[in-house]
Amino acid sequence: GESVGLHLPTLSVQEGDNSIINCAYSNSASDYFIWYKQESGKGPQFIIDIRSNMDKRQGQRVTVLLNKTVKHLSLQIAATQPGDSAVYFCAENTGGFKTIFGAGTRLFVKA
Amino acid sequence: DTAVSQTPKYLVTQMGNDKSIKCEQNLGHDTMYWYKQDSKKFLKIMFSYNNKELIINETVPNRFSPKSPDKAHLNLHINSLELGDSAVYFCASSPGLAGVLSDEQFFGPGTRLTVL
Chain B interface, mutation test: which of A88, A97, A98, A106, most B Cβ atoms within 10 Å?
A: A97
Confidence band, pLDDT 50/70/90 cuts, at residue B22: very high
pLDDT for position B16: 97
**Which residue among A41, A89, A93 sits closest to B43, beta carbon to beta carbon?**
A89
Q: What's the confidence (pLDDT) of residue B102?
A: 55
**pLDDT tens digit string along B39-52?**
989 999 999 998 88
CB distance B91 to B34 below 8 Å: yes
* Residue B36's pLDDT band (cuts 50, 70, 90): very high
Instruction: Note whether A48 contacts B: Cβ–Cβ < 8 A.
Output: no
pLDDT at A6: 47
Q: Are A87 and A31 in contact (CB under 8 A)?
A: no
Q: Among residues of chain B, what percentage have pLDDT more than 90?
A: 72
| Residue B40 with chain A: CB contacts under 8 Å | 7-8, 103
Q: Establish if A31 touches chain B: CB-CB under 8 angstroms.
A: yes
Q: Do B45 and A32 touch (CB under 8 A)?
A: no
Burial class (CB in 10 A: 0-12, 13-18, 19+), B23: buried
Note the pLDDT of residue A5: 52
CB contact under 8 A, A96 and B107: no
Residues 6+ apart with CB under 8 A from A105: A5, A6, A8, A9, A10, A11, A21, A22, A23, A87, A88, A89
Which portions of chain A are predicted below pLDDT 70? 1-7, 96
Q: Do B107 and A43 touch (CB under 8 A)?
A: yes
Quickly state the pLDDT bin for B11 (edges 50, 70, 90): very high
CB-CB under 8 Å, B110 with A87: no
Chain mean pLDDT for chain B: 91
Contacts of B57 (CB under 8 A, 6+ apart): B47
B-chain residues within 8 Å CB-CB of A87? Answer: 41
- Which tens digit of pLDDT belongs to each residue from B56-113? 888 889 999 999 999 999 999 999 999 999 999 999 999 876 545 557 899 999 999 9
Predicted pLDDT at A70: 94
